[in-house]
Copies of this chain bind each other. A is one copy, B any other.
């Protein structure tokens, strides 16, 4: 028989928790001293560890209490149930994660953001949840819809998208250096090459996409990252500059 302090040393569980478990009748002490101090034995320690384990896999104390009390508990069903629950929770977090990444990406593209901007973004996001598909399917045919996936669009976390974001963000960062600066021209070159790789010679499609980007509203309902017009204009100028230079060689 060991004291409550000993238990906490052996298991890492706090005194308060032990008393609480006693209180809710989850784990009673094996006995008490005359003065009323709790005393625990081997059996209780083991049970305590079981409780701890069942807690880590997400069960609540009430459930645990019932599970351990019931000799005929259906562990298989219980665990499957729990697995189900945990999986769903994980999936939910996954979606939240995606949304967060999307928002963070947007901020990276747009630079610093204040409250009112954020409010707009949030509302945009909410609307987009269901609106998006409708508009997209109208404007693009199926093949193009597939290609679209590789463009920066909300909620995607794949590497191709990430690189577009990175490129545009860099463009923005170096914008002050002017369209003819080597940094910008290198970036444009990379964007040009990536465009070729990702979309090949599908010129029409590319133009459609840029067409959409030019209109913030269309962008919005298509679920693209809205690129601000300043950056967009800068890009177009730099792009033309690049093509000209290339043509002259």
Contacts and interface: CB of A to CB of B under 8 A. Distances in A.
Contacts of A136: none
Interface stretch (A29-37, A163-171, A199-207): A163-171
B49 A113 contact: no
Copies in the complex: 2
A46 to B, nearest CB: 7
Contacts of A165: 162, 166
Interface of A is mostly: helix
Interface stretch (A15-23, A118-126, A141-149): A118-126
Most chain B CB neighbours (cut-off 10 Å) among A58, A68, A162: A162
Contact of A83 (B79, B86, B101, B112): B101
Contacts of A208: none
Contacts of A230: none
Contact of A90 (B49, B97, B172, B193): B97
A12 to B, nearest CB: 11
A163 B170 contact: yes
A49 B129 CA distance: 12
